């Protein structure tokens, strides 16, 4: 079940040894959180059971040729039924934290006003089980899957203290609307790439503002999960190389999402959207 994203080890590298040939594993620092992370559609399974509706990712996975081997999240790791055993596995591995996402298709299968109590109950029980074993829950509000009815349109604050608004918005925008490798599988629509990026970041800002204003969340923390690449300048003498590799947010595809054009006289300090795209 466990999709371990990183073992959070520190290595000591010599100044000229980027390959780590003389690396030495050291102890974890006290402020390092050791845990694992998953997403709902990848592990839960039972995507249409107990009142849940289909999602954009389930429909995408059912489309022939979109997913290698024709796999779907219909069963996945069956975390929906096996979460108790999965939490015990995390406990045995000594994890301090577990980041998971909400399947909104399970919570709001028909509309935004009538929650599915069986879906809510699943996350209630999961959170209680984590806390019982001293595993801190980190909750991702959106990890790519939307209820189908939302896609067609285009109560845990007292126990969960750590929240993530969006998981890897670049993947939603670029892989979903430019490369077509992720749901909804659209290719070559750069206007949609920019629009979805813009509105995801707006949504992130609005959620953070609401979170910080909520008395129920006054002791909580909130952030966003990005997927940057760590790069090193090929030529330290060229300013553009230094500037391009300085920012951890920059992705290799033309400086997404901060800059549409990079030149030697235009270091990436201020993000901008190309004129004429009609995004406000």
pLDDT tens digits, one per residue of 144-153: 998 988 877 7
Same domain for 160 and 249? Answer: no
Is residue 15 domain-resident? no
For range 35-61, the mean pLDDT: 96
The domain total for the chain is: 2
* Lowest-confidence segment of 9-13, 42-46, 70-74, 253-257 by average pLDDT: 9-13
Residues 191 and 74 grouped into a single domain: yes
> At 241, is the pLDDT very low, low, confident or very high (cuts 50, 70, 90)?
low
Question: Do 136 and 259 reside in the same domain of the chain?
Answer: no
Residue 164, pLDDT above cutoff 70: yes
In contact, 173 and 200? CB cutoff 8 Å: yes
* Residues 224, 146 share a domain: yes
**pLDDT for 7-37, tens place per residue?**
332 222 233 333 444 444 456 667 788 999 9
Q: In this structure, are 49 and 147 located in the same domain?
A: yes
Residues 119 and 246 in one domain: no
Average pLDDT, the chain: 79
Residue 6 included in any domain: no
The residue written with tokens 């659209």 in the block is 186
12 domain residue, yes or no: no
Asked, for residue 246, whether it belongs to a domain, the answer is yes
Domain-embedded: residue 13? no
Residue 233: the pLDDT is 66
From 3-7, 209-213, 216-220, the region with the lowest mean pLDDT:
3-7
Task: Answer yes or no: is pLDDT of 106 > 80.
Answer: yes
| pLDDT tens digits for range 111-135 | 888 899 999 999 999 999 999 999 9
Residues 267 and 249 in one domain: yes
Q: What is the mean pLDDT of residues 152-158?
A: 68
What values do phi and psi take at 61, rounded to 5?
A: -65, -30
pLDDT at 4 over 90: no
Query: Of 220, 236, 252, which residue sits at a domain end?
Result: 236
Indicate if 122 and 254 belong to the same structural domain. Answer: no
Report yes or no on 156 lying in a domain.
Answer: yes
What is the three-state SS of the chain? CCCCCCCCCEECCCCCCCCCCCCCEECCCCCCCCEEECCHHHHCCCCCCCCCCCEHHHHHHHCCCCCHHHCCCCCCCCHHHHHHHHHHHHHHCCCCEEEEECCHHHHCCCCCCCCCHHHHHHHHHHHHHHHHCCCEEEEEEECCCCEHHHHHCCCCCCCCCEEEEEECHHHHHHHHHCECCCCCCCECCHHHHHHHHHHHHHHHHHHHHHHHHCHHHCCCEEEEECCCCCCCCCCCCCHHHHHHHHCCCCCCCCCCCCCCCCECCECCCCCCCCCCCCCC
Distance CA 202, CA 127 (A): 28
Instruction: Quote the domain boundaries for residue 82.
Output: 27-236
Is 185 in the same domain as 280?
no
User: Region 156-162: what's the mean pLDDT?
Assistant: 80
Question: What gap in Å lies between CA 30 and CA 24, rounded to an integer?
Answer: 18
pLDDT at 276: 59
Residue 141 lies in a domain: yes
Q: Which residues pair with 10 in a beta bridge?
A: 26
Are 211 and 259 members of one domain?
A: no
Handedness of CA 67, 180, 41, 230 (dihedral sign): positive
Are 217 and 271 in a shared domain? no
Contacts of 94 (CB under 8 A, 6+ apart): 34
Specify the CATH number for the domain of residue 207: 3.20.20.80
Q: Which residues are 138's β-sheet partners?
A: 99, 162
201 domain-assigned: yes
**Cα–Cα dist 187/53, whole Å:** 26
Q: Say if residue 116 is in the same domain as residue 242.
A: no
- Asked if 249 and 228 count as a contact pair (C-beta separation under 8 A), the reply is yes
Q: How far apart are CA 77 and CA 73, in angstroms?
A: 8
């Amino acid at each position: 079940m466990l999709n371990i994203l990183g073992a959070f080890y520190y290595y000591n590298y010599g100044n000229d040894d980027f390959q780590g040939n003389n690396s030495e594993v050291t102890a974890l620092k006290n402020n390092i959180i050791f845990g694992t992370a998953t997403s709902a559609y990848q592990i839960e399974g039972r995507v249409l059971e107990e009142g849940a509706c289909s999602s954009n990712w389930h429909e995408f996975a059912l489309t022939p040729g979109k997913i290698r081997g024709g796999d779907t999240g219909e069963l996945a790791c069956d975390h929906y039924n096996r979460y108790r055993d999965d939490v015990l596995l995390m406990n045995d591995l000594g994890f301090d934290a577990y980041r998971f996402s909400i399947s909104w298709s399970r919570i709001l299968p028909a509309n935004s006003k009538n929650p599915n109590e069986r879906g809510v109950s699943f996350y209630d029980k999961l959170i209680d089980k984590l806390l019982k074993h001293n595993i801190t829950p980190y909750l991702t509000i959106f990890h790519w899957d939307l209820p189908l009815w939302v896609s067609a349109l285009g109560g845990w604050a007292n126990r969960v203290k750590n929240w993530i608004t969006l998981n890897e918005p670049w993947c939603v925008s670029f892989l979903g609307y430019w490369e077509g490798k992720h749901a909804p599988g659209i290719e070559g629509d750069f206007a949609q790439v920019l629009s979805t990026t813009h509105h995801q970041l707006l949504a992130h800002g609005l959620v953070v503002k609401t979170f910080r204003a909520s008395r129920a969340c006054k002791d909580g923390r909130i952030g966003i999960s990005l997927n940057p690449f760590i790069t090193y300048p090929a030529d330290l003498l060229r300013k553009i190389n230094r500037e391009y590799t300085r920012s951890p947010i920059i992705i290799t595809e033309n400086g997404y999402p901060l800059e549409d054009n990079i030149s030697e006289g235009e270091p990436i300090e201020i993000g901008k959207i190309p004129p004429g795209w009609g995004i406000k």
